[in-house]
Structure 1
Amino acid sequence: MATTPGILTDWPWTPLGSFKHVVVAPWIIHGTYSYFVNDGKDKDLSYFLIFPFMLWRFLHNQLWISLSRYRTAKGNGRIVDKGLEFEQVDRERNWDDQILFNAILFYLGSRHLPGAVNLPFWRTDGVILTILLHAGPVEFLYYWLHRALHHHFLYSRYHSHHHSSIVTEPITSVIHPFAEHISYFTLFAIPLLTTILTGTSSIVSFAGYVTYIDFMNNMGHCNFELIPKWLFTIFPPLKYLLYTPS
């Protein structure tokens, strides 16, 4: 918990405990049934793939957690030379809440947003637009949002929960109160909504963008360096494309 928990700290499905995943069951069942029963135009591949994409995000994050804990236990090249505390492991056990939250919003958007139905597999213009929007307004706004979250008012109520983890793990990157995740999704939805409204969205631009964010979050919060320093010397622009734990 944050030092002074604010409103919307807890996730809506917290009372469900280990059964929280049932909140997405109706959409999963509907998406699967619709895809295999309907024919032609009624067969929406993008709607059906939300569930497999959710499973991919679970797997992707779990692979990072396993790699990080292996390297932390091995003890070579650790940035913070400490072991993990049980209290931190317990606090970060609900890292999949944000995946459920995103999945619900994707399902709702796929059903109710004009232009979000039957997305094509690939559109080059949409991929380029997504990259430009992230590198421009999203990164700029994220910088100021992050600074605002370090203001004592918001920090004590929300962001201090994230910084309770001293020996960071990959999944520490998404350990935030519910309200904070709402602000993050609103920000990262800018490229997604823009491509939908301009008719340039695709399955690859959606899945690729979210996977990129997951990858950078996971790598950036490892307690060891994955990218060798000499690579930045050989290719200096790399520092504008990713960040490192150090």
Structure 2
Amino acid sequence: MGAAFLSSWPWDNLGFFKYVLYGPLVGKALAGRAWEAASPDRWLCLLLALFALRALTYQLWSSYSNMLFLTRRRRIVRDGVDFEQIDKEWDWAFHGARLFARYHALHHSNMVPTPFTAGFATPLEHVVLGLLMALPLAGACAAGLGSVGLTFAYVLSSDFLRAMGHCNVELFPGGLFRSLPLLRYLIYTPTYHTIHHTGKKANFCLFMPLFDRLGGTLDASSWELQTKNRAGMDEVPDFVFLAHVVDVMQSMHVPFVMRTFASTPFAVRAFLLPLWPIALLFMFMVWAWSKTFVISYYHLRGKLHQIWAVPRYGFHYFLPFAKDGINDQIELAILRADRMGVKVVSLAALNKVSSSLHAVHLAAACKWCLTAQHPNLRVRVVHGNTLTAAVILNEIPKGTTEVFMTGATSKLGRAIALYLCRKKIRVMMMTLSTERFQKIQKEAAAEDQQYLVQVTKFQSAEQCKTWIVGKWLSPREQRSGYGT
């Protein structure tokens, strides 16, 4: 059985290149100087302007709903949006079993409503919706009241309300509907429409719940849930990844700016270059006033994971005068996580790096855990090297009494060597630098230092069965020993 009539778009397989279809309209508008009042092609300029304003309406609502530092407590469906839904997204009459399966099911396939979900529908649905929207405008024109301004206002108002209903963030104060009970039948809320998306058996009407009331399809719990969602709910993450902004261009790829870009590998987009000065201005504003904030979240194996961003860009970490401010931001974030009950905070990239220009931020964080200033700190502070070391140590066979290590004086190698010597495992540390070896050896307890042994040749490990390779080995070097 073939696809239903007008159930798919002819440019489905074009991806981002579908926007090239605007080319003829843009070309015609430019050739006819459509921006001039006397141009016969002026309607093209107005049409393109309407398209742009409609897109901007949905983008602004999307940006707002993804500003988790403002909206996370009032989110209605608390699951995260997966990349498949993001890729797919870039009424009433369609809820019968046959029409729903062939048409409207596409709209409901998005498990988490977003502003872009409002326009995620089949061609037939857009045709029907367009005809319904055209009726009031046609009536206004027939009465001699039609105008360009009226058309823009009507279409953009409709888009505004549709995007609002799908934004997945409760906006209206609960007390508003208690004070003005009639208002609940004149304007729908994001909670009201989300009930329809999750249940599909009630709250069919867009904009005015009055028609659901008259049709007997209004969910009686709509206002109770609306009040609850508006009050908000705090969720405590089990794990926090403390990141930072890389650079100005990368800052435009966060979910609340360009959500689609946030689901794809980073790349410099030429059409974003004109926005670079605006992003630079925001960088200075964030640097001056912002605190650590939530960027995104996801659920993994029943655990809530959040990504927080320190409001600093990559180059800030190499400015000597920025050292104290960065450390303060990291400290405040860790203390905040501890108060919330977060179990683990992982420091990302430059939040854990050390250099001659600034302090070792990870060392500072760990120091806080040990000082009398925060004696009851419960959250564990880790970073990528910590987790990598844990994985490597977990792979060492039980009963091992001796290991051979290359890259033993690196940060990762040092951590592994010191841990193993505490377990009374002899560690042959391959390094030509006696100074670096002795520095690490002195960090071990006096009774454990004997388990750290410096070696300078691979042949020294010929009889060792366990090798931890932290540096590249040539085939010849690999043949020097018999371990794995």
TM-score, with normalisation over the residues of structure 2? 0.36
In structure 2, what is the equivalent of residue 6 of structure 1? 4
User: Displacement of 1:72 after TM fit?
Assistant: 8.8
Choose the corresponding residue for 1:150, options 72, 91, 95: 95
In structure 2, what is the equivalent of residue 68 of structure 1? 65
User: Displacement of 1:188 after TM fit?
Assistant: 1.1
Specify whether residues 37 and 74 from structure 1 end up closer, same or farther in structure 2 by C-alpha distance, changes over 3 A only: closer
Matches within 5 A, 1:21-100: 21-35=19-33, 40=38, 42=39, 45-71=42-68, 75-93=72-90
Partner Cα distance (1:240, 1:202) in 2: 30
Q: Secondary structure at the match of 2:66?
A: helix
Which is higher, the Rg of structure 1 or of structure 2?
2
Say yes or no: does 1:244 pair with 2:198.
Answer: no
Matches within 5 A, 1:104-183: 146=92, 148-183=93-128
Partner Cα distance (2:106, 2:35) in 1: 45
Say yes or no: does 1:229 pair with 2:227.
Answer: no
Specify whether residues 198 and 32 from structure 1 end up closer, same or farther in structure 2 by C-alpha distance, changes over 3 A only: farther
Partner Cα distance (1:222, 1:215) in 2: 10
User: Displacement of 1:234 after TM fit?
Assistant: 3.2
Structure (1 or 2) with the greater helix fraction: 1
Between 1:42-51 and 1:204-213, the stretch displaced more is 42-51
Partner Cα distance (1:5, 1:226) in 2: 39
Partner Cα distance (2:35, 2:77) in 1: 53
Partner Cα distance (1:197, 1:31) in 2: 28
Q: Which whole-Å deviations, capped at 9, do the CAs of 1:109-167 have from their partners, x for residues lacking one?
A: xxxxxxxxxxxxxxxxxxxxxxxxxxxxxxxxxxxx51x31110001101111111221
Q: Secondary structure at the match of 1:49?
A: helix
Partner Cα distance (1:195, 1:183) in 2: 19
Partner amino acid for 1:53? L
5+ residue gaps, structure 2: 192-484
User: Displacement of 1:35 after TM fit?
Assistant: 4.5
- State the superposition RMSD in angstroms: 2.7
Choose the corresponding residue for 2:151, options 203, 206, 228: 206
In structure 2, what is the equivalent of residue 218 of structure 1? 163
Partner amino acid for 1:223? N
User: Displacement of 1:177 after TM fit?
Assistant: 1.1
Q: Secondary structure at the match of 1:238?
A: helix
Partner Cα distance (1:76, 1:60) in 2: 23
User: Displacement of 1:33 after TM fit?
Assistant: 4.2
Q: 1:216 touches 1:242 (CA, 8 Å); kept in 2?
A: no
User: Displacement of 1:186 after TM fit?
Assistant: 1.3
In structure 2, what is the equivalent of residue 97 of structure 1? none
Say yes or no: does 1:193 pair with 2:138.
Answer: yes
Partner Cα distance (1:209, 1:163) in 2: 26
Partner amino acid for 2:56? L
Partner Cα distance (1:203, 1:157) in 2: 36
Partner amino acid for 1:34? G
Partner Cα distance (2:168, 2:116) in 1: 11
Partner amino acid for 2:28? H
Partner Cα distance (1:165, 1:174) in 2: 12
Q: 1:168 touches 1:221 (CA, 8 Å); kept in 2?
A: yes
Partner Cα distance (1:44, 1:165) in 2: 39
Q: Which whole-Å deviations, capped at 9, do the CAs of 1:4-50 have from their partners, x for residues lacking one?
A: 9522222233344322223233333333443468674x566554222
Q: 2:34 touches 2:42 (CA, 8 Å); kept in 1?
A: no
Q: 2:34 touches 2:41 (CA, 8 Å); kept in 1?
A: no
5+ residue gaps, structure 1: 94-144
Partner Cα distance (2:72, 2:118) in 1: 21
Which structure exhibits the higher relative contact order, with contacts defined as CA atoms closer than 8 Å and separated by 6 or more residues?
Answer: 1
User: Displacement of 1:235 after TM fit?
Assistant: 3.5
Partner Cα distance (1:47, 1:36) in 2: 6
Q: Which whole-Å deviations, capped at 9, do the CAs of 1:70-100 have from their partners, x for residues lacking one?
A: 239963122122111222112212xxxxxxx
Structure (1 or 2) with the greater strand fraction: 2
Specify whether residues 195 and 27 from structure 1 end up closer, same or farther in structure 2 by C-alpha distance, changes over 3 A only: farther
Between 1:13-22 and 1:77-86, the stretch displaced more is 13-22
Partner amino acid for 2:87? D
Q: Secondary structure at the match of 2:190?
A: coil
TM-score, with normalisation over the residues of structure 1? 0.67
In structure 2, what is the equivalent of residue 125 of structure 1? none
In structure 1, what is the equivalent of residue 15 of structure 2? 17
Q: 1:170 touches 1:221 (CA, 8 Å); kept in 2?
A: yes
User: Displacement of 1:215 after TM fit?
Assistant: 0.7
User: Displacement of 1:225 after TM fit?
Assistant: 0.5
